[in-house]
Amino acid sequence: MANDDVVLKQYLSKYKHRDYTAREVINLIQVYRSLTYRLEAFVFNNGTRKDLLNLEGTIPVNYKGAYYNIPVCIWLMDTHPQNAPLCFVKPTADMSIKVSKYVDSNGKVYLPYLHEWTQNGSTLQKLIQCMITAFGELPPVYSKPRTEARPYPVNSFMPQPSGYPFPQGTSQPGYPTVTPYPTTSNLPYPSFGSPYPGAVNSNGMPFPPTTATTTPYPAGTGYTPGPDVAGGTITEEHIKASLLSAVEDKLRRRLKEQSQQSQAELETLRRTQQELREGKTRLEDILTRLQRERSELEKNIVVLQEKEKELETAIERLQEQEGIDVDEAVVTTAPLYSQLLNAFAEEATLEDAIYYMGEALRKEVIDLDTFLKQVRTLARRQFTLRALMHKCRQKAQLAC
């Protein structure tokens, strides 16, 4: 196990999730001991080549009460487990591929589990269990007759659709040698519909040995061999059935791809429609706000125009009037207010006189004695005026 871990990590050096993939492969080959692994070149549809890990061997399939070893190979992508593996049925020289909804004429496996592959929930062990279940329902291979005279080339009746990748490299089967045919039975072998048998002991579970008392080759469901089949001759019905099956599988895959593409485009269009509706709502809100602001601006413009006209009228009226006497411009309503106004004006003049007397002393226009004499006179008068204003405010009940 330690050696496998070291070798696997060397093989998986370019893999994105090397440790996880190595751990999963080790757990898988401990359960299915007939599986072996090696690094081989794989050619994709576009012609590119990559070195991928190939798990090759046999898996035990229970078909009508008997167990058969079905040869398979599983290619792990370098992004495993983000992307699903590529699975193929790899028949031996004694077998032929039986086309069904799970396997095409090239041996590629199609399972719902592969289409619904997820990074967190899908594993290789569950994948092989799904393959065992599907192959138990529809065997992917059938045994060839030992003596058959084929009027057509080998596999000439099988369609060869292009576009499916095939592994490149030297084929070295990693599954154990099994007895493909029983030696104690002289029953004729049907040429279609029977998966090849073999004793299975890949995961340590013993299975009943194949003897003459059991039926080693299950008969193909829904098909009765005719005289031509017993002689090994491929009839037109076989060719027609194979072609129809291949075309049906190809059309089904095409329709599914187109349906998925249409669903994705429809989902994109729905998201775009939702975004456009949200944008429309935002634009309508902005437009409503702009219209409201425009109405307010128009009202303000009207008010400003009216005020402007009033100012122009006032200016014209003032221009038509003669000069105004400043003393007569302000008229009080009572003699008390007139006395208060006159006292306030005189007190302000005294304040200015004291200020300019200080400026004259600073500039040495007058001497100090003159300054003190005049300031003393002005200050006495200013004090009298302030006392008068205080009494006037109290009499008129104004704030002091």
- Secondary structure in 3-state letters for 343-389: HHHHHHHHHHHHHHHHHHHHCCCCCHHHHHHHHHHHHHHHHHHHHHH
Q: Which long-range contacts (CB under 8 A, 24 or more apart) does 15-19 make?
A: 15/53, 15/76, 15/78, 15/79, 15/80, 16/78, 16/79, 16/80, 16/82, 17/79, 17/80, 17/81, 17/82
User: Is 389 within 8 Å of 340 (Cβ atoms)?
Assistant: yes
Residues forming beta bridges with residue 97, ordered by sequence position = 141
Average pLDDT of 49-71? 90
Lowest mean pLDDT, pick from 139-153, 219-233, 321-335:
219-233
User: Is 138 within 8 Å of 101 (Cβ atoms)?
Assistant: yes
Rounded distance between C-alpha atoms, residue 108 and residue 128, angstroms: 14
Residues forming beta bridges with residue 114, ordered by sequence position = none
Average pLDDT of 327-350? 85
Lowest mean pLDDT, pick from 193-202, 241-250, 387-396:
193-202
Lowest mean pLDDT, pick from 208-212, 250-254, 316-320:
208-212
Average pLDDT of 194-199? 37
Average pLDDT of 18-43? 90
Rounded distance between C-alpha atoms, residue 130 and residue 239, angstroms: 29
Query: pLDDT band for position 93 (50/70/90)?
Result: confident
Return the residue matching tokens 């200020």. 355
Average pLDDT of 311-333? 79
The helix-helix angle for 124-137 and 18-31 (nearest 10°) equals 40
Average pLDDT of 35-54? 88
Q: Is 222 helix (H, G, I), strand (E, B) or coil?
A: coil
Average pLDDT of 208-216? 36
In 65-209, DSSP assigns E strands to 66-76, 86-89, 95-97, 141-143, 167-168
Query: pLDDT band for position 375 (50/70/90)?
Result: very high
Query: pLDDT band for position 73 (50/70/90)?
Result: very high
Residues forming beta bridges with residue 72, ordered by sequence position = 57, 89
Rounded distance between C-alpha atoms, residue 246 and residue 162, angstroms: 12
In 65-135, DSSP assigns E strands to 66-76, 86-89, 95-97
The model's pLDDT over 95-135, given as tens digits with 9 standing for 90+, comes to: 889 888 899 988 999 999 998 898 888 999 999 999 999 99
- Within 13 Å and on the Cβ side, how many CA atoms surround 285? 6
Non-local CB neighbours of 152 within 8 Å, separated by 6+ positions: 234
The model's pLDDT over 252-281, given as tens digits with 9 standing for 90+, comes to: 999 999 999 899 899 999 999 999 999 999
pLDDT cut 90: percent of the chain above it: 40
Please report the pLDDT score of residue 209 as a whole number. 37
Non-local CB neighbours of 360 within 8 Å, separated by 6+ positions: 366, 371
Q: What is the mean pLDDT of the chain?
A: 78
Is pLDDT above 90 for 309? yes
Give the amino acid at 97.
Answer: I
Is pLDDT above 90 for 88? yes
CA 158 to chain centre: 41
User: Is 135 within 8 Å of 61 (Cβ atoms)?
Assistant: yes
Lowest mean pLDDT, pick from 83-87, 221-225, 298-302:
221-225
Average pLDDT of 314-322? 82
Please report the pLDDT score of residue 65 as a whole number. 86
Rounded distance between C-alpha atoms, residue 183 and residue 87, angstroms: 32
Rounded distance between C-alpha atoms, residue 168 and residue 163, angstroms: 15
Is pLDDT above 80 for 231? no
The model's pLDDT over 134-185, given as tens digits with 9 standing for 90+, comes to: 999 989 998 887 654 444 444 433 344 433 344 434 333 333 333 333 333 3
Is pLDDT above 80 for 30? yes
Rounded distance between C-alpha atoms, residue 340 and residue 350, angstroms: 15
Alpha-carbon distances, residue 266 vs 41, 257, 277, 280, 394 (angstroms): 38, 14, 16, 21, 89
Lowest mean pLDDT, pick from 264-268, 309-313, 390-394, 395-399:
395-399
Cα angle for residues 366, 372, 373 (degrees, 5° grid): 95
